[in-house]
Amino acid sequence: FLKYSIAGVAGLAFSSQFPQNHRAQGTGTLLSPTNLRVDHPIPPLFCTAYIDPGIPTQANQEAIIARYPLTLVPQDMRAKHIQWRNRIKHLNSNILMLGYQMVIEETSVPGPGHDRMRLVKDSWCEYPGGYHPTVKGYPSNRDLRIFDPRRVEWQEAFLEACRAMLGSYPYNGLFLDQCTVYEKAHPIPTVKAEMRHALQITLLRLRHEFPNTILIGNSSYNWQGLNGEMNEGRPEQILLEFAPFDGHVQPTMDLYATILKDPTDIERVKQDMALVHSLGAFFSAAVDYQHVLWFDAFDEVIAKYK
């Protein structure tokens, strides 16, 4: 199991060596060392709580969310969402709360960071001939355009979006969703490589500006400057994606989310959690991200840190 006493932890160490097709192209050692200060050990459990507290079927989950040491939450700044986050923090003053920020595609999700990204006008991926690739949004099934991270407009907007988020509420960090370059972003491999390089540089700029902020990406890549990445239900990739990577900021905080079909599948929870913890990563299990679950096996993990 992980046990972090983070107050005196070693800082950034970046390598320019990356296995092909997995780790993002690096730029060498660009940043000065830093310490991420968290004054208590962190049990390696988290929950994803993309909850609207105004919806009756999603309401009244604050107590169960507060049992987790780490949670991912919406950036929504409407009053009911602020009150909801505050109640969670009141129940567990040690909880680490990461605000959700979309990275590489347009979004209709409310919040100050996304409001800034909606002002971007001319930074879309474009094929030769003018075609703009899209991805399907969930749950809307809308066609969503994809940002081209080589565009200066996108780079500055993304950094401003992260500033807006971190200035809007006392988050401990950011969860950067779709922190990647899609295969369909461009048909030419060298162009996609340029996009990955541009995204990497932008993430390093973000880290340079916020050296003591937890930054985790939803990605199958390992990005320099982040604390880690989330693997959502891709068990076949877990050994590769959670292999040691010296470009991560310490403490490394890779996340694995088991997607359950049956919320009573305790054996799968135990098996997946044992593997994830053996690799030094954080674990969660849920049927969906609007309803948070807790298992007796989690109490055993928490007990090791008391």
Domain map of the chain by residue range?
A: 6-303
Per-residue pLDDT for 225 more than 60?
yes
Confidence band for 132, pLDDT divided at 50, 70 and 90: very high
Q: Rounded to an integer, what distance in angstroms lies between the CA atom of residue 94 and that of residue 198?
A: 35
Contact 99, 75 (CB under 8 A): yes
Residue 41 CA to residue 39 CA, distance in Å, equals 7
Quick one: average pLDDT of 202-223? Answer: 97
CB count in 10 Å sphere of residue 41: 16
Of 172, 53, 33, 177, the C-alpha closest to 114 is 177
User: With 50 as the cut, is the pLDDT of residue 33 above it?
Assistant: no
Q: According to the model, what pLDDT value does residue 61 have?
A: 98
pLDDT of residue 248: 95
Choose between 207 and 136: higher pLDDT: 207
Residue 36: its pLDDT value, please? 58
Which fold, 6-303?
TIM Barrel (3.20.20)
Mean pLDDT over 279-290 rounds to 96
User: For residue 199, what is the enclosing H or E element?
Assistant: helix 189-209
Which pLDDT belongs to residue 26?
A: 36
Express each pLDDT in 103-126 by its tens digit.
Answer: 999 999 999 999 999 999 999 999
Check whether 279 has a pLDDT greater than 90: yes
Q: What values do phi and psi take at 162, rounded to 5? A: -65, -40
Which three-class secondary structure state does DSSP give residue 289?
A: coil
What average pLDDT does the segment 251-264 reach?
96
Q: Rounded to whole angstroms, how far apart are CA atoms 86 and 302? A: 22
Q: State the pLDDT at residue 141.
A: 83
User: Is residue 79 predicted with pLDDT exceeding 50?
Assistant: yes
Tokens of 173: 């960090």
User: For residue range 143-176, what is the model confidence (pLDDT) as tens digits?
Assistant: 999 999 999 999 999 999 999 999 999 999 999 9
pLDDT of residue 37: 57
Backbone φ and ψ of 146, nearest 5°: -110, 135
Rounded to the nearest angstrom, the gap between the alpha carbon of residue 240 and the centroid of all alpha carbons in its chain is: 18
Q: Output Rg (C-alpha) for the chain, integer angstroms.
A: 19
- Identify any residues that bridge with 96 across adjacent strands, giving them in sequence order: 70
| Angle at the Cα of 198 from the Cα atoms of 195 and 201, rounded to 5 degrees | 150
**Which pLDDT band, with edges at 50, 70 and 90, does 137 fall under?**
confident
- pTM score: 0.88
pLDDT at 140: 77
For residue 110, cis peptide bond before it (omega within 30 degrees of 0): no
- Where is 173: in which H helix or E strand? strand 173-177
Q: Whole-number mean pLDDT of the chain?
A: 89
Bridge partner residues of 282 (DSSP):
255
- Quick one: pLDDT band at residue 306, thresholds 50, 70, 90? confident
